[in-house]
Chains A and B, each alone.
Chain A
Amino acid sequence: MFELAIKIVINGLTSSLVYILMALGFTLIFGIMRVVNFAHGELYMVASFLVYVLVGSLGWNYYLVVVLAAVAVGLFGMVLERVLFRPFIGRELNGMIMALAVSITLQASAFILFGSDEHSVERPISGVIHLGSVIVPRDRLAVGLIALVILAVFYLFMRYTKAGLAMRAVVQDEEIASIHGIRPKLVHPLAFGLGAMLAGFAGALMAPIYTVYPYMGSQPMLKAFIVVILGGLGSIPGAVLGGVVLGLTESAFATLINTTVATMVSFGIVVLILLVKPTGLLGR
């Protein structure tokens, strides 16, 4: 019984960290630009394909490529914001339709370039660690630790830099923030780029663990969406709390019953939260 609980917690927390990476970017983009970024999963997918090409085909160093891919996706996000999303500031539904358009365009492009096959990337770390009788794969553990470091850096950035302060101010009230000289033209691309970069990190980290294919982004996108609803759209602490809650409940239901039930339960919770408290657990 005790071992089962440990297994649930460890599995739950390792997936939580990746959910949080996805959800933080998603919620940051919504909080600052009021855009529901349906293309978030495709940013994850693009980073995975970068790893597949650069590490798998060209043989570059994996850790270097993780950083490169995340930065590249971050820059890509800034370009998307400037060219496609900026005209829709303040019009939430049109912004969302634009995100859908970006999502299907990227998916179809990846399909045309790489086909529908599931590609795999060689794991940089392999083997398992025995914690008592609980077996933990080393690569999952490494991903968890790296994600934790990224989250810590993100936290410090948001907490202690001027740019982070500016973004937190815009999340709370854009108008008041702009009175204090915070320019939306600078904050929006920064937030979109940062959100995209977090998705890029998640995609690059998960590329060797799962397979790489054009539709791989829909699952993590769905998780990010559930996490963000749980925590409250636009709330950064909410994304962390939501990620942990989703990771643990999923892991518990998946271990004790099966994954479909886990998915149904999470959607059920989403419907319930939206109906009862649409702003989520920690939303305003």
Chain B
Amino acid sequence: MKPMKFTVKFSVIIAVLALLPFVLRAPFLTHIGVMMGLYVTLALSMNLMLRIGQISFAHGAFMGLGAYGSALFMMRLGLPFPLAFFGAALAVTLLAWLVGQVFLRIRGVYFVLLTFAFGEIIVLIFVEWVSLFGGSNGLAGVPRPGLFGYEIQSRDGFYLLALALAAFAYASVRALYRSELGAVITSLDENEALTRSLGIDSRQYRLLTFCFSAFLAGLSGALYGHYLTLVTPEDYGFWVPVNLVVINVIGGVANPIGCILGALLLVPLPEFLRDAKQYQVLLYGILLILFLLFMPDGLHGVMEKFRRRMSGRAK
């Protein structure tokens, strides 16, 4: 595929998606669209970690810090939205850079458990530091974002922001994987010893991936907080990374498009099953088991297989 072709195709798809809510005029679908945008971004940030073979359970905390950060920057410091939004995500990135220095020395299940404990500590801080984070009730009345003098109140506005975020995340992750940098990052999981023998400082690449991943999680967390106008600690716990892993496994880890496929299948579910959340969790669990056992390459893998078979037959 020529690079131009992707750019054109991608722009057309984004443009069509951007027009969709104004044509359909269905607020419920727009809401699902916002959640999709946020979750695609989050799933991509987890995909980056899976690429280097280190599942991070700190991503709930990164998302939460983005949400609290952006909300507090606006509420306490009176910063304008764009500054608060990017400021919070950059603060999250900085934190990831700091803890990443030591965390990324640890591999495999130990890394998972370490980030899990880190995430639990951050959530406990959200709950306990009442004067800053508002305790278990969290922060209510998070201001709506204002851009170029307009306050974004409508769902459509949020939809466009979420779409822009997801488009940025997808395009950048895709470009990253196709670059030389991406080849180095992929090699870290596949054969780190060989990579290091070429004189590549593997930890710097791990750190870079971790930071970019945290940046994406921070951005979507910040937008999520402004969208709900409410930030509570329970939204940023253990379930965030679990959901992101589920989306990745079901969509397919090998290609960032898997994040979109997974989100497409899994994000609308909770919105339709709102009164029966447990059935949704049950479905997540069963789907996850079935995919792990029978379709370990996810929906993307199934599609690839199908496409290959079709093109084989055409010949």
A96 surroundings in chain B (CB, below 8 A): 55, 109, 112
- Nearest-Cβ distance from residue B40 to partner chain A, whole angstroms: 20
Contact pattern, A 80-91, Cβ under 8 Å of B = 1, otherwise 0: 000010011000
Residue pair B109, A36 in contact (C-beta under 8 Å): yes
Residue pair B113, A229 in contact (C-beta under 8 Å): yes
> Quick one: which of B48-105 are within 8 Å of A by CB?
53, 55, 102-103, 105
Contact pattern, A 104-144, Cβ under 8 Å of B = 1, otherwise 0: 11111101100000000000000000000000000000000
Asked if B306 is at the interface of the complex by the 8 Å CB criterion, the answer is no
B113 surroundings in chain A (CB, below 8 A): 36, 225, 229, 270, 274
> Quick one: which of A258-284 are within 8 Å of B by CB?
260, 263-264, 267-268, 270-271, 274-275, 278
Residue pair B106, A274 in contact (C-beta under 8 Å): yes
Residue pair B124, A263 in contact (C-beta under 8 Å): yes
Residue pair A270, B292 in contact (C-beta under 8 Å): no
- Nearest-Cβ distance from residue B7 to partner chain A, whole angstroms: 34
- Nearest-Cβ distance from residue B309 to partner chain A, whole angstroms: 24
Contact among B102, B249, B279 for A97, CB-based, below 8 A: B249
Report how many residues on chain B are interfacial, defined by Cβ distance under 8 Å.
Answer: 35
Residue pair B289, A105 in contact (C-beta under 8 Å): yes
Residue pair A275, B242 in contact (C-beta under 8 Å): no
- Nearest-Cβ distance from residue A133 to partner chain B, whole angstroms: 33
Known contacts A84-B293, A96-B112, A101-B292; is A271 also within 8 Å of B281 by CB?
no
Known contacts A97-B288, A102-B289, A108-B278; is A275 also within 8 Å of B112 by CB?
no
A268, B106: Cα distance in complex, Å: 16
A275 surroundings in chain B (CB, below 8 A): 102-103, 105-106, 114
Chain B contact residues, CB within 8 Å of chain A: 53, 55, 102-103, 105-106, 108-110, 112-114, 116-118, 120-121, 124, 127-128, 242, 245, 249, 278-279, 281-282, 284-286, 288-289, 292-293, 296
23 CB < 8 A contacts A-B? A34-B109, A36-B109, A93-B53, A96-B112, A97-B55, A98-B288, A100-B245, A101-B285, A102-B289, A104-B281, A104-B282, A105-B286, A108-B282, A111-B278, A112-B279, A225-B113, A229-B117, A264-B128, A271-B121, A274-B106, A274-B113, A274-B117, A275-B102
